[in-house]
Structures are given as C-alpha cells and as structure tokens.
C-alpha cells in the first residue's frame, strides 16, 4: 500500500490525491503540518514539503514526480494526453497553475489567511490579500477564455490540467479568495469537478480553527 504524506490545504497534495483517486491508486494518508518540520518527514524529503508518496524503498517527492511516475508505470487512465501536442498543452497548464497561480494567488492566501491566522495568530496584511484576489480574478478570466474554446482545460478530454487547476482553485476557494460571479464558464466547469466522487472527499476536510466560506463544498455556488 502506498502512503501519502500530505497537508489538507496544500494544493500540490490535493493535485496528487485527486490524480491518484482518478487512477485508482489506493493509499494511506499521513497529515503533515509543514511548519512543524517533523524530523521523520524531513528525512523523507529534505526540502520539507508535501506531498511525498512512498511504498517499500521507493520515495516519490514532489507532485510532478509523483504524477509522472504513474503516467509511466500504469497503463490505465492516462491523464497527460495521447499526442505530443496534447501532452505539451497539459504540461504548459501544469506550469501555469503550479507556478503562476500558486505564486500569485495560493501562496499569498496561505501565508495571510492560513499561516498567520491559524498558526501564528498574527494579523493578515490586507493589501497582500487584495492583490491575491485581483490576481485570482485574472486567473478565472483565463479559465473562462480556455473553456470558451474547449470542453476541458487541456482540450477535449478531462485530464491533469483540470486536476491541477481544481486543486489550486479549491484551496483558494477554501480561503475565501475567489469571487465566482461573472465567471460562468469557470463556475460550470468547477461544479462538474466538484460533483466527481474522486474529488468530493477533499471538500469535506477542514483545518481546525479555519472554516471555509459557506459556498465552499456546495455544487450550486
């Protein structure tokens, strides 16, 4: 059995959990609070970051390494696409969400609304939150733009671009950083994602002392 070290508000952990669920890879969960820098966890990953997935002597560190591993070793449920063009487009969007969305939206919201509020009990910086929310709106517009041309974010098929986007958006949504009004294509797409049995369990989890907005786990939001 695989064992996944994750943190419930880590978008990269959510990406891996959603992908493993879609691929039918069963696994145990171990929750890490990254700021605790648990020695046994740092021994697994010197970078100290979730997610880490292991089984026997094989230790997979980093969400891209985990996902690429199962694309290479499992025949079922390919999620990157079947042509070089489709795979390039999926990986472009993985970089978009994992790097750009995370830097512009996810990381600042996690810093101000999760880490400061729930961990160090400090006062969030309103200007950082407002900038992250403006950035989030630009990202929802880009998602609208893609979905006006395609059934799914990466193209005609559901795949890793949708999984990564849903993971990152769900964390920003938990932290109250998304305003869905005016983004009907993105909202329709995200409602379809939320209804998937492979994604719903993620939406049921809560970080103690930090409840999400009321609309967070609703299909009609």
Q: Does 84 bind its own copies (CB under 8 A)?
A: yes
Q: What distances in angstroms separate CA 130 from CA 11, 28, 35, 185, one per listed residue?
A: 20, 37, 25, 23
- The residue assigned the tokens 């006006």 is 148
Residues 137-166, one symbol each (x = binds its own copies by CB under 8 A, - = not), give -----x------------------------
Angle (CA) 167 169 175, round 5°: 110
Q: Does 115 bind its own copies (CB under 8 A)?
A: no
Residues 66, 8, 164, 220: is their CA dihedral positive or negative? positive
Q: Does 1 bind its own copies (CB under 8 A)?
A: no
Candidates 84-92, 161-169, 175-183, 194-202; binding stretch for its own copies (CB under 8 A):
84-92
Q: Does 120 bind its own copies (CB under 8 A)?
A: no
Q: Does 60 bind its own copies (CB under 8 A)?
A: yes
Torsion of CA 108, 158, 195, 97, to 10 degrees: 0
How many whole angstroms separate alpha carbon 148 and alpha carbon 127?
Answer: 32
CB of 187 to its own copies, least distance (A): 21
User: Which residues contact its own copies by CB under 8 A?
Assistant: 45-47, 57-62, 64-65, 68-69, 72-73, 84-85, 87-88, 91-92, 94-96, 99-100, 142
């Amino acid at each position: 059995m695989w064992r996944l070290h994750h943190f419930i508000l880590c978008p990269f952990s959510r990406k891996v959990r959603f992908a493993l669920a879609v691929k039918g890879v069963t696994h145990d969960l171990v929750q890490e609070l990254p700021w605790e820098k648990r020695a046994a966890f740092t021994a697994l990953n010197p970078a100290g970051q979730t997610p880490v997935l292991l089984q026997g002597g094989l230790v997979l560190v980093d969400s891209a390494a985990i996902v690429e591993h199962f694309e290479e070793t499992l025949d079922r449920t390919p999620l990157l696409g079947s042509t070089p063009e489709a795979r390039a487009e999926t990986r472009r969007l993985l970089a978009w969400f994992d790097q750009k969305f995370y830097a512009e939206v996810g990381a600042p919201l996690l810093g101000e609304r999760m880490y400061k509020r729930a961990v160090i009990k400090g006062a969030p910086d309103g200007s950082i939150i407002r900038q992250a929310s403006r950035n989030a709106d630009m990202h929802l517009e880009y998602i609208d733009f893609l979905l006006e041309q395609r059934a799914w974010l990466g193209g005609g098929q559901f795949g890793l671009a949708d999984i990564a986007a849903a993971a990152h958006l769900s964390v920003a949504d938990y932290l109250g950083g998304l305003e869905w009004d005016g983004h009907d294509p993105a909202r329709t797409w995200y409602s379809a994602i939320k209804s998937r049995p492979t994604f719903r369990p993620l939406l049921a989890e809560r970080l103690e002392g930090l409840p999400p907005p009321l609309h967070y786990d609703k299909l009609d939001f």
